Amino acid sequence: MGTSETGWISVYLRSESELPISAIPQMTLTSLDDVPIPQFPRLDGKAWIFSGLPIGTSYELDVKVDGFQPVHETVDIPDMEYGTANVVITLRAIDEQLTFHPPTGQFMLAPRVQKEVQQGLRDLSSNKIASAQKHFQKAIVMAPGNPYVNYVTGMSYVLAKQEAKAQPYLEESVSLDPNEASSLLALGTLRLDQGNYAGAVDLLSKAVKLEPSSWKSQWLLADACLKQRDFPQAREHAEEALAAGKEKADRVRLVLAEAVASMGDRAGALATLDRFLSDHPNDPDASKFRAWLTSRPETSPTIENAAVKQVSAPEAAVPQIEPIAVAAPAPQPTADLPPNPDWAPPDIDAERPVIVSGASCSLPKVLKAGAKNATRLVTDLQKFSATEEYQTVEIKRDASLQRPASRTFNYMVFIEHPSAKILQVNEYRDQGVTAQDMPGELADMGAPGLALAFHPLLQGDFTWSCEGAGRWQDKPAWIVRFEQRSDRPNYLAVFRDGPNSYPLPLKGRAWISESGGEVMHLETDLVKPVAEIKLEREHLVIDYEAVSFPKRKVTLWLPENVDSYFQYRGHYLHQFHHFSNFKLFWTGAAEKIGQPKGATDNSSD
């Protein structure tokens, strides 16, 4: 097990709908020897960061957020300096049905009852179901005629999978207040699970009438109608569920396909199934149902005629997914399906950065300061070397990671300005090491040159906009967006494949120091995929640090950490670079420094 405290863990929290969680979590990190890590993670962008951790060991991560089920994960940090582990945690709500409208009027709670209910809800949010039930039972003794108290009590038994105990409380809640959609939905779901389809249709129809935009109610009503052989109603409510819930209700397509098939429209059912299977290629129910459906003879009636015949003929056969004994294997996922939506950070245009309201931003002044620093970088940084810690890993479709391939390089960069109209950035890694010698599906190179987009020679190739004032690592910054112009040449980034080169149209966002105009942080994406090489996505995240060279009285902002994400030829790749031990060269002389400003210097001249 490693002993250097140089690793870190980045934790990303997402809801089931893949949206970031804004609530502050309770996180506990424990090492293998059961010793808690005595720190609270810091929020850095969208990730909660544990830093300064011993590398080459495993950790137990516990996450709790109010309103969500607790999560426990095992996290491994690679045994290499600056080893990193990225953890994406999907938090599942305790139960969205607990959003019962607060009681009002004759149903308002007395203070003592309200105190017990609130404590019970807090226990539910922490998954302490037994404790929650005790508080709800105290409340029900004091307010047996309150529909809200009966509802939350019933739901506590639903969450404990004690449906028989839940039923009388939910029935009492509906009896006391028949106009509350949440209790109607809960009791309707219970009746559907019990096989009481007529009772489920009755309750769920009322819930849908009260809240027609509830995709869950529409979905469950579609399923209940299907079980009742009311295929037109099943189709109608399945389509309503899809319209309201979109991708969250995607699985209702199976109900829709069965309803459409039962109305005689085999082609429509197959089209619905194929759309579902394109997003869920391994789903066994859909695959079996499709195989069963294609084995049946083609029917000729139109959809309208089929609807009349199927509804009026009680003996009509209803296809059921469960009994179909088809051994057809599920199709393999296509290579271009991403492992999950969080395999890489979002596109720069997916979310706007946080800006200071009311702060004016002068784009000409910001670009002038950026150009001055880019020019100085070319003038002062004729050549520099560094130690490069490099990792590359492929993210599989099941969200698993391969063991990272890691290398350490002696890294050198030459920035040349051979003429008034030409800039060149050349990278070298150890003597004799080429890009083809680097591990992984491809090698990403050229990160030090991306800040040169601000250079006077290249600024005109981009459209620029100043989005406002913000902060980066507690430093005031101007936030600037840029994008490659289609009518100008693209010199900033290219993709090389043997003798062939393909310009990469980039867009990006930079955080520029308000005090000095230096690029402190940079993120880039492709303006559009590059079809010729099947490069669907390239997302770069670069953190710069101020590196001082005292002998020359020069401080330059150089890339310290670079994260690169690629969707390339059906592969999903993440590459990481950490640079340290910089040495700056002038003609006939060199000056060495240990680490970026603020880091420990263990080097010697």
Q: Which helix (H) or strand (E) holds 176?
A: helix 163-176
CA distance linking residue 564 with residue 444, whole number of Å: 7
Those residues with Cβ within 8 angstroms of residue 602's Cβ, 6 or more apart along the chain or in another chain: 594, 595
What are the tens digits of pLDDT across the range 357-412? 667 788 999 999 999 988 887 777 667 788 888 888 777 655 444 556 778 888 88
Identify how many contiguous H helices and E strands the chain contains and give both numbers.
14, 20
Give dist(CA 289, CA 294) in Å, integer.
Answer: 9
**Per-domain residue ranges for the chain?**
5-91, 212-332, 363-592
363-592: CATH architecture: Clam (2.50)
What is the average pLDDT value for the chain, to the nearest integer?
A: 75
Question: Token digits for 282?
Answer: 């391994």
Q: By percentage, how much of the chain surpasses pLDDT 70?
A: 73
In the predicted structure, residue 261 carries a pLDDT above the cut 50:
yes
> Which of 23, 8, 107 has the alpha carbon at shortest distance from 67?
23
- pLDDT tops 60 at residue 595: no
- Please count the residues of the chain: 605
Q: Which residues are within 8 A (CB) of 431 and not within 5 positions of it... i.e. 6 or more apart?
A: none
Among 421-425, 448-452, 528-532, name the one with the lowest average pLDDT: 421-425
Contact 414, 382 (CB under 8 A): yes
Strand partners, 62: 28, 72
Q: What tokens does 524 get?
A: 């880039």
Instruction: For the domain covering 212-332, report its CATH number.
Output: 1.25.40.10
For 57-73, letters b (16+ CB in 10 Å) and e give bebebebbbebbbebee
Distance CA 522, CA 171 (A): 58
What confidence score (pLDDT) does residue 299 get? 36
The superfamily (CATH) of domain 5-91 is Immunoglobulins (2.60.40.10)
- Average pLDDT for residues 213-225, to the nearest whole number? 87
pLDDT confidence of residue 90: 79
Q: Determine the pLDDT at residue 498.
A: 65
Q: Please give the DSSP secondary-structure letter assigned to residue 276.
A: H
- Helix-, strand-, coil-residue percentages of the chain, each rounded to 5: 35, 30, 35
| Chain segment 11-20, per-residue pLDDT in tens | 888 776 556 6
Asked whether the domain spanning 363-592 has the same topology as the one spanning 212-332, the reply is: no
Is the model's pLDDT at 465 over the cut of 90? yes
> Cβ(404)–Cβ(396) under 8 Å?
no
Longest Cα separation, the chain: 95
The arithmetic mean of pLDDT across residues 33-57, rounded, is 77
